[in-house]
Amino acid sequence: AQRVTQPEKLLSVFKGAPVELKCNYSYSGSPELFWYVQYSRQRLQLLLRHISRESIKGFTADLNKGETSFHLKKPFAQEEDSAMYYCALSTNVNYGGSQGNLIFGKGTKLSVKP
């Protein structure tokens, strides 16, 4: 079954510390992976996607097919990074998946303390 697992419900770090939000997925085909973020009182928005290989707001994520992981990292956390982070998987239609619907993890709440 297709699944996304985010093992940490809450991650609390101090400003300037490195951050790693974990994401593991289960999918037999070729996945498309995303990180979405929801800041307080704002709507869910895309942070980054693995195919673009961009660094957004200092965050990066590398797809590791061997470990089926897509962990989100930032070397120096800022207070404005405090938010809810969701890892999401989009399945490839050629492997019988749906055309673009996202499978989300339960999310990790990141709290960056001053």
* Residue 72 near other proteins by CB under 8 A: no
Residue 2 tokens read as: 């297709």
* Residue 70 near other proteins by CB under 8 A: no
Q: What distance in Å separates the CA atoms of residue 7 and residue 95, rounded to the nearest whole number?
A: 27
The neighbouring-strand residues paired with 113 are 14
- Cα first-last separation, the chain: 41
Radius of gyration of the chain (CA): 14
Q: What distance in Å separates the CA atoms of residue 16 and residue 1, rounded to the nearest whole number?
A: 38
Nearer to other proteins, 24 or 92 (CB): 92
* Residue 46 near other proteins by CB under 8 A: yes
Question: Closest distance between other proteins and the C-beta of residue 75, in Å?
Answer: 25
Nearer to other proteins, 32 or 81 (CB): 32
Query: Contact residues for other proteins (CB under 8 A)?
Result: 4, 6, 32, 36, 43-46, 49, 51, 86, 88, 90, 92-93, 98-107
